[in-house]
A = this chain, B = another copy of it.
């Protein structure tokens, strides 16, 4: 985090309780987390564990018998550390993501970690791309197709920019190897059903099938290649904090062809694995460079 972005009020706290992580500054956070360079965030606890386990294999980091272990409490988020990598779940949607971002940025700061990158590794609905394609986000758009994240503070609405780190996106894409991946704009919405123009929600929608398709085509023409539920908040926070950030999401379906996720559990696991592998290949490559340059 850049020093000018840091909250000066934190200096007034004797102990800072990172409530949703179950960690606090009374613990030896430096000992627990020093050396972390990459914070990977995925939606569910299952995926955070899977990514941590794969990171251990890909990076050759020894793990305890029985596999990787969580750190802190697991009621809200599940956090793993594997060498220079943290893998943590963020739940679904921007409010949940936002909580994790604040506490993770403070954690990295308290632990004295330098030059940390935040990478969201997740799943999404594709727009005009084949299911299983990994989209590395060029930028994050909100549900109104704006390059903005709107947040209400003390009753007033403020708008924050949602640019992402272009170089980091290029570097991650370059590490894709044999996995189908491409750059694209990622739209993040506050709802999965009506917020993404689905016709399979519980309630009678106010829009028709033709209006739904026209909106998805308009998004596609604006460069949107996938839709998820975290991009604007994630991009805006990291930009404010001065943390290099990337969003790498696999697509589970093509929204131009339907609303329902109909792939088999095996296919879905493979799709999710695609995004994680791209990111781990990127990290392995960076660590190799660091060793070669040492």
Which A residues form the contact surface with B (CB < 8 A)?
1, 4-10, 13, 16-17, 19-20, 43-47, 75-76, 91-96, 98-99, 101-103, 105-106, 109, 142-145, 151-158, 189-195, 197, 199-207, 209, 211-212, 215, 218, 229, 237, 240-241, 260-262
Q: Decide: A240 and B98 in contact? CB cutoff 8 A.
A: no
Q: Which residues of B contact A199 (CB under 8 A)?
A: 7, 9
**In the complex, residue of chain B having the shortest beta-carbon distance to the beta carbon of A193:** B102
The residue among A8, A91, A201, A229 with the most chain B CB atoms within 10 A of its own CB is: A201
**Which listed residue (B20, B45, B94) contacts A190, Cβ 8 A?**
B94
Q: What's the Cα separation between A189 and B92 when bound, in Å? A: 15
Which B residues lie within 8 Å of A144 (CB)?
Answer: 152, 155-157
CA of A45 to CA of B13, assembled, Å = 31
Chain B residues closer than 8 Å to A262, beta-carbon distance: 17
Contacts of A103 in B (CB 8 A): 202
Contact A151 B202 (CB under 8 A): no
| B154 engages A13 (CB within 8 Å) | no
Judge whether B200 and A13 touch: CB under 8 Å: yes
- A212 lies within 8 A of B154 (CB): yes
Q: Inside 8 A of A261's CB, which chain B residues have their CB?
A: 17, 19
Give the complex CA separation of A179 and B91 in angstroms. 32
Known contacts A201-B102, A202-B102; decide if A155 and B215 are in contact (CB<8 Å): yes
Inter-chain contact B6/A203, CB cutoff 8 Å: yes
Residues B153 and A195 in contact, CB atoms below 8 Å apart: yes
With A144-B152, A193-B102 known to touch, is A202 a contact of B7 (CB < 8 Å)? yes
Q: Using Cβ atoms and an 8 Å threshold, which residues of chain B touch A212?
A: 154
Q: Which residues of B contact A102 (CB under 8 A)?
A: 192-193, 201-203
Partner of A7, one of B94, B201, B211: B201
The answer to whether A96 and B91 touch across the interface, beta carbons within 8 angstroms, is yes
Please tell me if the beta carbons of A1 and B202 are within 8 angstroms of each other in the complex.
yes
B residues less than 8 Å from A4 (CB atoms): 204
Quick one: closest B residue to A100, CB to CB? B92
Which of these, B98, B194, B202, contacts A106 with CB under 8 Å?
B202
